[in-house]
Amino acid sequence: MKNILFLAALLLCNTAIHAEQVYNWGLLWSGSWEDKTSSDTLTNRVESTLHYLPLDLLWRGQILSNDSPWSDSEKTATHYTMGLYHKETGSRLLLGPLSEEGLPARIRSPWIRSPPYTENHTNTAADLRTAVSSTKEDEVYLRLASPFLEITPNMIVKTFFSAQTEMDEFTPALSAGLDFRFPKNTRLMAEIFYTEKTLPQKELTSWFSNPPPLPQRDFRLLAAGLLFKNAYFTLSSDFAQSEAFSWGSDIYLSLGISITPHLPVTRISYPLLISFAADGAGPRFVNRDGINYTEGFRSAAKIEWRDRYNSMLKLDTVLRSDAFGYNFNRSSTGIYYRFPVKRDNSPVRISTISLSADRNATDHLKIHDSYSGNLNININPLRIYLAGSFKGFSKPDIDPNPYPILSDWSWEATSISWEFLWTHGIFQLRSKTGCTISAKKDEKWDFSVSTSARFKQGRLTIKAASPDFPLKWNWSASWRIEINGNS
């Protein structure tokens, strides 16, 4: 039934393109083909859009496919997706695999996401995925949002409500929110989210597995988010509580603070940004996907200084521990500088430079440290990207420093790479060479070269890569063709 609706809507779109009405329309075909040593993969995305301007309605249809036509692999999938959008308010009706943003995304696998800085606190919404997913089921999603409505001369507000569920199983997920705007760039946004589902039985995968074997069980998750922002200060916070039968109840909590003081001594009014963030989850917390994603606590801080000609200096650090109140045993620290871009037609210019240091001391008998650096140089019309890293182990320590220190240190491996990008007109040529030297393995080289052509309607790229030069080779091609028009 869904496929029939999709083809009918596509036919209606193509018919309306030729009608004498006010429309914008677009056709897109993108994809890639990759041939590895033991398998090949062909992906395709075909999209059609029709924007009816008088009502500001946009229809969007997609066909997504992932196939292995020249091998025996059974990992094939095809998705037909559709969406109807009201662009001014953000209201939409979607059918197909979804990609979530905002509050539901922030409480899904938090430890593999960026720290909860205030700039990462975005509105709750969902959209159609643009690539095949082997884990995402087809869903129905409805979002109704209002335009900004004037409540008082000094306050306007926007409201939204959304509901979604999987097509094959009723798994309701509801969200709602209010977005207030006040004078002097002041904003207050509050959101809530609720979902429930039946989790499948958890089998025993290993001795002392965490979580242990669990029966089929009911799962509920309630979350709320808050954002306050003005010209000088921003505060954001998320709270989520999960409950699963035979497993228990627990919470996840995050807090973000950023300060942007007004400094009239510079040509930029707000050149300085100071941000702090922290989040933590209890041992029984179950995330948005119904997965127990381990207990933990994380704190982070960063400072950014922006100056003329788009230059920026950024310092940041992230610390993690196994739980709130425990000693930190993991860290990631970096420094990044983007050089000013002046209109002096200089043939040689350093673009960016960055350094980082990481430590993982979750196993105090095997403390892993790594250091890396990147340097980007522009020699018109050539761009050069240089990267290097080295990693090793520090001596065992029952109470290790969360930051890496080069003392009593044993080297494990070093990697270096250099990449060249040459552009001439519509053509680009890219080449990358890398080498990894290990203490216990032979040195390993990798090499890749690609060429691409960019034109008004799209691009075409062909690439050859050798992850173990010169023994193994992978070949790939990618393309994108887009045509837009109006009637």
Q: What CATH number is associated with residue 179?
A: 2.40.160
The pLDDT, as a whole number, for residue 134 is 78
Distance from C-alpha of 109 to C-alpha of 126, rounded to nearest angstrom: 17
The pTM (predicted TM-score) of the whole model is 0.86
Burial of 394 (0-12, 13-18, 19+ CB in 10 A): buried
Rounded to whole angstroms, what are the CA distances from 35 to 44, 162, 451? 15, 41, 17
pLDDT cut 70: percent of the chain above it: 92
Residue 4 confidence class, pLDDT cut points 50, 70, 90: very low
The 10 Å CB-count burial string (b at 16+, else e) for 13-43 is beeebeeeeebebbbbbbbbbbeeeeebbbb
- 102, 82 in Cβ contact below 8 A? no
How confident is the prediction for the chain on average, in pLDDT?
A: 89
Give the pairing of strands 91-96 and 98-101: unpaired
- Higher-pLDDT residue of 466 and 5 is 466
What single DSSP character describes residue 3?
H
- Higher-pLDDT residue of 409 and 331 is 331
Q: Tell me what the mean pLDDT of segment 153-180 comes to.
A: 95
The pLDDT, as a whole number, for residue 377 is 95
- 475, 14 in Cβ contact below 8 A? no
- Higher-pLDDT residue of 408 and 176 is 176
The pLDDT, as a whole number, for residue 164 is 96
The pLDDT, as a whole number, for residue 137 is 87
201 within some domain: yes
Residue 175 confidence class, pLDDT cut points 50, 70, 90: very high
Structure tokens at 372: 């890396």
Full residue range of the structural domain in which residue 108 is found: 2-343
467 within some domain: no
Neighbours of 323 (CB within 10 A): 13
The pLDDT, as a whole number, for residue 445 is 95
Q: Tell me what the mean pLDDT of segment 57-76 comes to.
A: 82
Backbone angles phi, psi at 288, to 5 degrees: -55, -35
Tens of pLDDT, residue by residue over 432-442, are 999 999 988 88
Q: Tell me what the mean pLDDT of segment 211-220 comes to.
A: 79
Tens of pLDDT, residue by residue over 225-239, are 999 999 899 999 999
387 within some domain: no
Tens of pLDDT, residue by residue over 250-293, are 999 999 999 999 887 777 778 899 999 999 999 999 988 888 76
208 within some domain: yes
Distance from C-alpha of 2 to C-alpha of 79, rounded to nearest angstrom: 10
Nearest to 368 by CA among 334, 404, 397: 404
Domain count, the chain: 1
Tens of pLDDT, residue by residue over 10-27, are 444 554 444 456 889 999
Tens of pLDDT, residue by residue over 144-166, are 999 999 999 999 999 999 999 99
The pLDDT, as a whole number, for residue 35 is 86
> Which of the residue ranges 57-66, 70-79, 174-183, 432-441 would you say has the lowest mean pLDDT?
70-79
53 within some domain: yes
Determine the residue type at 175: S
The pLDDT, as a whole number, for residue 234 is 97
Nearest to 309 by CA among 343, 271, 283, 355: 343
Q: Write the CB contacts of 72 (distance below 8 Å, at least 6 apart in sequence).
A: none
- 272, 307 in Cβ contact below 8 A? no
Tens of pLDDT, residue by residue over 110-145, are 898 999 999 999 999 999 999 988 788 899 999 999
Determine the residue type at 373: G
Nearest to 240 by CA among 193, 278, 283: 193
Instruction: For residue 112, give the 3-state DSSP assignment.
Output: helix
Residue 206 has pLDDT above 80, yes or no: no
224 within some domain: yes
Instruction: For residue 8, give the 3-state DSSP assignment.
Output: helix
The pLDDT, as a whole number, for residue 72 is 60
What single DSSP character describes residue 347?
S
Longest alpha-carbon distance in the chain: 77
How many degrees, rounded to 5, is the angle at CA 377 between CA 373 and CA 381? 150
42 within some domain: yes
> Which of the residue ranges 27-41, 59-73, 277-291 would you say has the lowest mean pLDDT?
59-73
228 within some domain: yes
Neighbours of 72 (CB within 10 A): 6
